[in-house]
Structure 1
Amino acid sequence: MKYSSILLLSLSLIGTSAVAGDDLRAGLGGALGGVVGSAVGNAVGGSTGSTIGAGIGGAAGGAVGAKRGDKTEAAIGGGLGAAGGNILGNAVGGSTGAMVGAALGGGAGSALGSSMGDSDDRHSSGGRRYEGRRYAHDNGLHRGHHKKHWKHRD
């Protein structure tokens, strides 16, 4: 019964990710990865294995769900959120609470990490410091580095 609910949750999360935005898709991937990692880790190594599995699964799911430029941030957020959620959920509700906590923490961490990656990309110049001043001294003849040394003769 426990694995059928995990399968149902997995299918519903995959189905809704097709219509989701970028940050929401990363969050759903982190939640799904956290749940699956928590279940597999619990079967292999108890509560410690559950925490490790949730962290690895949340990181992997967040990275898969995020868009190209935000994979690292989403993976870090998903891994930390799923592991932390797993620990808190285990303290509150046992192994079922650990899976719920891993899903919530992995989803929130991945979405937040993906969003932080977006805001960083929008506010940075991307290494192009002088892009706006490229042709500031152009005389209109577009002659490259010779533009001040050439004279236009009619």
Structure 2
Amino acid sequence: MRLTLSTVVLGLLVAQGAMAAGDGTAAVGGGLGGALGNVVGGQLGGSTGAAVGAGVGGAAGSAVGARKGSRTEAAVGGGIGAAGGSVIGNSLGGSTGSTIGAGLGGAAGGAVGSNLGNDSGSSHSGGGKHKHKHKNKYKHR
């Protein structure tokens, strides 16, 4: 029980840090998608179905919540985070722990993926645009 509680607290801290970094919509989308996908997948296919459902739901939720330039990275992060959180949560706290883990993992993974996508997209200064100064070819006399 202590391990489950400490995992939940750590997950909440990570999710709060991710939201403070400005990736709140991707984090919320990944968390909600992961938790809902976990519940639906668990009903259809047990613990394996829960992990798969959490991954798919976390990916979809993170992609919907992310900004346009970082949707792929957010989807990958949210999917992996939710699936991993589902597996770890299931081993620690059964189906309830699996749902909590999927939500927290999807939130953290979606936020981190979105943040990585924003960083890599803005690393090129100027965006490939070159400034051309106007030079007078013909001087008026």
Equivalent residue of 2:122, what SS? helix
What's the offset of the Cα at 1:95? Answer: 0.7
Cα distance in 2 for partners of 1:42, 1:125 equals: 46
**Root mean square deviation, CA, Å:** 1.9
Distance change >3 Å, CA 126–CA 52, structure 1 → 2: farther
Which TM-score applies when normalising by structure 1? 0.72
Residue 152 of structure 1 aligns with which residue? Answer: 139
SS at 2:23's partner residue?
A: helix
Structure 2 match to 1:16 = none
Give the 3-state SS of the residue equivalent to 1:131 in structure 2. coil
CA contact 1:89–1:101 (8 Å) conserved in 2: yes
- Equivalent residue number for residue 45 of structure 2: 45
Q: Deviations over 1:48-95 (max 9, x none)?
A: 100000000000000111111111111010000000000100111111
Aligned match of 1:112: 112
Give 1:79's aligned amino acid.
G
- Matched ranges for 1:16-31 at <5 A: 22-31=22-31
5+ residue gaps in structure 2? 1-19
Q: Give the 3-state SS of the residue equivalent to 1:123 in structure 2.
A: coil
Residue 21 of structure 1, CA deviation: 8.0
Aligned residue pair count? 122
Work out whether 1:76 is the aligned partner of 2:76: yes
Amino acid at match of 1:66: A
- Say which one has the larger Rg: 1
Q: Which has the higher contact order (CA 8 A, sep 6+)?
A: 2
Identity %: 51
Match of 1:5 in 2: none
How far off its partner does 1:153 sit?
4.7
Q: State the Cα deviation string for residues 103-149 of structure 1 (Å, max 9, x = none).
A: 01000000011111111122124761x625x33xx42x2xxxxxxxx
Q: Distance in 2 between matches of 1:63 and 1:76?
A: 9
Evaluate the alpha carbon distance shift between residue 21 and residue 127 of structure 1 in structure 2; reply closer, same or farther with a 3 A threshold: closer
Is contact 1:22–1:66 with CA below 8 Å preserved after alignment? no
For 1:84-103, list aligned pairs within 5 A.
84-103=84-103
- Aligned equivalent of 1:7: none
